Structure formats: C-alpha cells, structure tokens
Amino acid sequence: MMPKLKLGFIGAGNMAGAIIGGVLKKGLMPASQIGIYDVDAAKGTRYQAGGHPVFQDAASLAATCGIIILAVKPQNFSEALSEIAPAVTKETLLVSIAAGITAQSIKKAIGFDCKVVLVMPNTPMLLGAGASALSRVEPTTPEEFERVMDIFAAGGVAREIDASKMCEVIPVNGSSPAFIYRMAGDIAESAARYGIDADAAMALFCQTLVGSAKMLMESGKSPEELITMVCSPGGTTLAAMEAMGEAGFSEAVAAAFDACVKRAKELSGRA
C-alpha cells in the first residue's frame, strides 16, 4: 500500500499546474506528497519526472490522497465523481474549482455528506498572481479549510466567501480577467487610430493596470476618491469619464456582471 499522500489532483491541466507550482514554490509540501491523475498519460509522465506519484485511475488516487482537487472541466465532472465515489471516505476532503458545480451536487454524486470546499480561482494564478474565492461547506472543519486556503494563497490572493455566493463571485474574479483583456485590446486599437505604436501602447497600459491595482490595494482610498485624484476640473480625464458615462460604461459593466451570474446559475441548476 502506498502511504497516504497530502494532496491529489484529478486533472492536470493549466490550473492544476498553476496550483501545484504555487505549493512547491512556497514549500508547503514536496512533490512526493502531491499525487496526479489525468486521462492524458503524457501529462502524467511529465509530472512523474518531477517526482510526483502518478496514478492510473481516479479511484486509486482518491483512495490514497487526503485532499483531492477536482481540476476537470464541468462537462467531465459527473464522470470523475462517479469514478471516485467508492473510494471517498468521511475523512476525504474534495475541492472543486469548476464553475457552476454545487456542493449539493457533489455530495449527491458521492452518496453521503462528504467534506467539500468550493473554489473559484482565475487564470493569473498561472503567474503566481491569482485571486481565488473559497467557500467552506460542512462538515469540513475550519482547520481543514485553512489548509486549502494556504494551497490557493500560495498562488496569489485567497479570500473566503459564503457558499451561496459562488455563482455571484464569478464575474468578480473568475471572468473579470477577460473584461480587462477586452479593455486592453480596445485601448490598443484606439491608440493605433492615433498612430501610437501598438507595443508601446500595450506596455504603457499594462503598467498602468499594475499601478492602478496597487493604488486600490495600498492607498486606503476608495475607487471614487482615486478617480477624483486623476480628474482635474475641465481636464482630459474628466472629458473621457463624461464620454464613458454617455456611452453607458457602468451599465455595460452591470449587464456583463448580471449575464455572467445568470449563466453560472443556469449551469449550477439554480436558475
């Protein structure tokens, strides 16, 4: 019998790799304590070369690992749960990073009131700059939840939210990178219309995003106060802000938020 491992991943795609990278970088546990299973054998081979135990099937991993991160696509979730259900015990902690998957659906598939933590991470975790929202679901203990928080905090920022708000938080951190990328693309296109080099425009805007985020996090000022700091009376920024208002910028953001939440609830069966 293989000794019990601390952590296991069912699915070894980009997000799993990002989470594992953070754990290893922070020294939370060695590769030898992180098990891997993926239907793609080539992924398993790469992880095995890095010192990870690799399993031939999901059930074997579930029987061997204390915390199991379910890093499969939502359309493959039911199949994964049915495979591991016989191996899950009352001590096993299941962690889902899939949008629209509820704790209730996981418990129903497993067949008893198992321990669950729901997580909404985002893709910047690939660079160690992620933002993850986590929910503890009974009977998961606070101590067990803290261990999962540490795992995701190793790849960026982690915050706890109520499990009833996992759909509502998706546009806050899960989908919002796409909103920002859309704005970056639009800014670059507008800059090009005025003859500004595309690479220069993107570099300047990206650094502005970084600096603006630091101002939001570290200045102690609200978004409204920071806007006022940039807007001189009768100046260029104020003219731009007025044009954004006339174009319905805030309404567009609210509509995008609402559409994201609505789709998340449809996927979770809460619509």
- pLDDT tens digits for 52-68? 999 999 999 999 999 99
Segment 100-126 mean pLDDT = 95
Whether residues 159 and 76 share a domain: the answer is: yes
Whether residues 157 and 34 share a domain: the answer is: yes
Residue 3's pLDDT is 52
Segment 20-45 mean pLDDT = 96
Q: Indicate whether 1 pLDDT > 50.
A: no
Segment 193-214 mean pLDDT = 97
Residue 170: C-alpha distances to residues 92, 115, 177, 231, 252 (Å): 26, 22, 11, 31, 17
Q: Indicate whether 218 pLDDT > 60.
A: yes
- Residues in contact with 225: Cβ distance below 8 Å, sequence separation at least 6, in sequence order: none
Residue 75's pLDDT is 85
State pTM to two decimals. 0.93
Whether residues 154 and 196 share a domain: the answer is: no
Give the rounded percent of residues in the chain with a pLDDT score beyond 90. Answer: 93
Whether residues 162 and 178 share a domain: the answer is: no
Number of domains in the chain: 2
Domain boundary among 169, 194, 226: 169
Whether residues 105 and 223 share a domain: the answer is: no
Q: What are phi and psi of 222, to 5 degrees?
A: -80, 165
Rounded Cα distance between 125 and 154, Å, is 9
Segment 168-192 mean pLDDT = 97
Domain holding 260: CATH number? 1.10.3730.10
Domain holding 59: CATH number? 3.40.50.720
Residue 222's pLDDT is 98
Question: How many residues make up the chain in this entry?
Answer: 271
Segment 166-186 mean pLDDT = 96
Q: How many CB atoms lie within 10 A of CB 82?
A: 14
Rounded Cα distance between 92 and 64, Å, is 10
Q: What tokens does 265 get? A: 């609830």
Torsion 121-81-7-126 (CA) sign: negative
Q: What tokens does 66 get? A: 């204390």
Domain boundary among 169, 193, 208: 169
Q: For all residues of the chain together, what is the average pLDDT?
A: 95
- Find the radius of gyration of the CA atoms of the chain: 21
Tens-digit pLDDT profile for residues 69-104:
999 988 889 999 999 999 999 999 999 999 889 999
Whether residues 205 and 135 share a domain: the answer is: no
Residue 271's pLDDT is 63
Three-state SS annotation for the chain: CCCCEEEEEECCCHHHHHHHHHHHHHCCCCHHHEEEECCCHHHHHHHHHCCCCECCCHHHHHHHEEEEEECCCHHHHHHHHHHHHHHCCCCCEEEECCCCCCHHHHHHHHCCCCEEEEEECCHHHHHCCEEEEEEEECCCCHHHHHHHHHHHHCCEEEEECCHHHCCCCHHHHHCHHHHHHHHHHHHHHHHHHCCCCHHHHHHHHHHHHHHHHHHHHHCCCCHHHHHHHHCCCCCHHHHHHHHHHHHCHHHHHHHHHHHHHHHHHHHHCCC
Whether residues 147 and 185 share a domain: the answer is: no
Whether residues 197 and 145 share a domain: the answer is: no
Whether residues 194 and 145 share a domain: the answer is: no
Whether residues 198 and 244 share a domain: the answer is: yes
Domain boundary among 169, 191, 209: 169
Residue 159's pLDDT is 98
Backbone dihedral region for residue 51 (phi beyond 0: left; psi -120 to 50: alpha; all else: beta): left
Q: Indicate whether 107 pLDDT > 50.
A: yes
Segment 170-180 mean pLDDT = 97
CB 26 within 8 A of CB 154: yes
Whether residues 136 and 181 share a domain: the answer is: no
Whose tokens are 């890093």? That residue is 71
Residue 27 sits in which domain range? Answer: 5-169
Whether residues 209 and 124 share a domain: the answer is: no
